[in-house]
Amino acid sequence: MSATKPRVVLLTGFAPFGGETVNPSWQAVRVLHGKQVAGQRIIARQLPVEFGASLKELRAAIRETKPSLVLCVGQAGGRASMSLERVAINVDDARIPDNAGARPIDTEVVAGGPAAYFSGLPIKAMLAALQEAGIPAEVSQTAGTYVCNHVFYGLMHALRNRKVRGGFVHIPYSPEQAAHHPGAPSLPVETVSHGLRIALRVALETGEDRKLAAGAEH
């Protein structure tokens, strides 16, 4: 008899955008491709920084890999911590064009969809584990209104009738990028990869989330 194949975790990062030559979300994610966490195999996929096309490729990856859990990762230059996103909103409002030149303004990610979706991951337990490991981490109350939020909302909409958990994490610039953005905080790609592995393990092993204060005043 053949051995049972391990279940799969789908982990996505993004292509470079906004004039950058690298995107640390993909740099950190691709390191984990083929690795195992909590007995499950990680499959990494790169998504384009394009409205519409990013969700088309994400949905195709979900159909192909049939994951038990999906974690999408994006770059948020200016943030100093790994940001575990709590809420995805049904709004595309682009400050800059995407890589295909599209710049939607005040449009819905999914026409007629709910105003918002909450993350399906135990973000407070993930937060505690990251902080205990000495990795800067926070719960974020907004994923913005660019392609990251577009993917986060589209992910949760795609999973709404599936028994699959999903969520989104924003990460800071890499030191390589921060050198071109004076004063911007950064995290090494290796640190982010380690943090993602911790976050995935906790997400896979945690049922009910922990009750920890991680709100914001504004």
The DSSP secondary structure of 194-213, one letter per residue, reads HHHHHHHHHHHH-SSPP---
Kindly provide the residue ranges of all beta strands, DSSP E only, lying in the chain, ordered along the sequence.
8-14, 36-37, 40-47, 69-75, 82-85, 87-89, 116-118, 137-140, 165-171
Active site positions, annotated? 85, 148, 170
Q: What residues have CB less than 8 Å from 152, skipping those under 6 apart?
A: 72, 85, 88, 117, 143, 167, 168
Q: Under a CB-based contact definition with an 8 Å cutoff, are residues 22 and 176 in contact? A: yes
| 184: DSSP letter | -
Report the helix count and the strand count for the chain, using DSSP H and E. 6, 9
Query: Which of 207, 188, 213, 214 is closest to 28 using CA atoms?
Result: 188
